[in-house]
Amino acid sequence: MRAILLSCIVALASAGLPSLTGLRFGSLRAQCPPKPPTVETFDVEAYLGLWYEQKRIPASFQVDTTCVRAEYGINDEGVVTVHNTATNADGSFDEIYGTATVPDPEHPGELLVDFPTSPVKGEYWVLDTDYENYTIIYSCVDYVFGLIHFEFAWILTRETNADPALIQQGTDLLESFGVDVSLMELTTQIPECCYENCA
């Protein structure tokens, strides 16, 4: 999953800014909403493992992707690892590896994700999670005095196909923080999905 984290704002590394999904142009309303609160405590160990994408404001690298999954682990240096996988529109398998860190311990739910193909780190804000069922991720960064911004949102669950009520709960939370949820789309997860050794 070229994100989730988690992806995550690797779109910043792409060329041709006006063509990027996740990039908005416009008036004052097109700016980022007020920054939402993130979780006050974050249990990294409990967060590790597999997460399946259910709904998203897509990034440019996610256009027409299906079977999106993120796997988080810990390497020998104690750093959180990120392994995102997805199936492209042409059926090819796509994956990327990265790491995630918490730059400010005062805000443990605000991570930065680093992918080797991106010159910048992506914001990964955990708005809510119960660790066992769902996590709600969001980020939004204004550029050029608010004339453009990059905005991303992901609803991830432990189950491949989550209860629609759980997905709606995450959607409602994002909307309550001023996120334009009309930009969101459901992510296809079907029995034929391949998540590893698919090349």
In this structure, what CATH number is given to the domain that contains residue 61? 2.40.128.20
Provide the domain count of the chain.
1
Query: Is position 134 within any domain?
Result: yes
The model's pLDDT over 55-95, given as tens digits with 9 standing for 90+, comes to 999 876 678 899 999 999 999 999 999 999 999 999 999 99
Query: Is position 103 within any domain?
Result: yes
pLDDT of residue 199: 65
> Quick check: 116 and 123 in contact, CB under 8 A?
no
pLDDT of residue 165: 97
> How large a percentage of the chain has pLDDT more than 90?
68
Query: Is position 3 within any domain?
Result: no
Query: Is position 109 within any domain?
Result: yes
Enclosing domain of residue 23: 10-186
Segment 188-196 shows an average pLDDT of 94
> How large a percentage of the chain has pLDDT more than 70?
81
Segment 14-40 shows an average pLDDT of 57
Task: Return d(Cα 85, Cα 71) in angstroms, integer.
Answer: 9
28 exposed, middle or buried (CB, 10 Å; 0-12, 13-18, 19+)? exposed
Query: Is position 196 within any domain?
Result: no
The reported pTM is 0.83
Task: Return d(Cα 55, Cα 3) in angstroms, integer.
Answer: 12
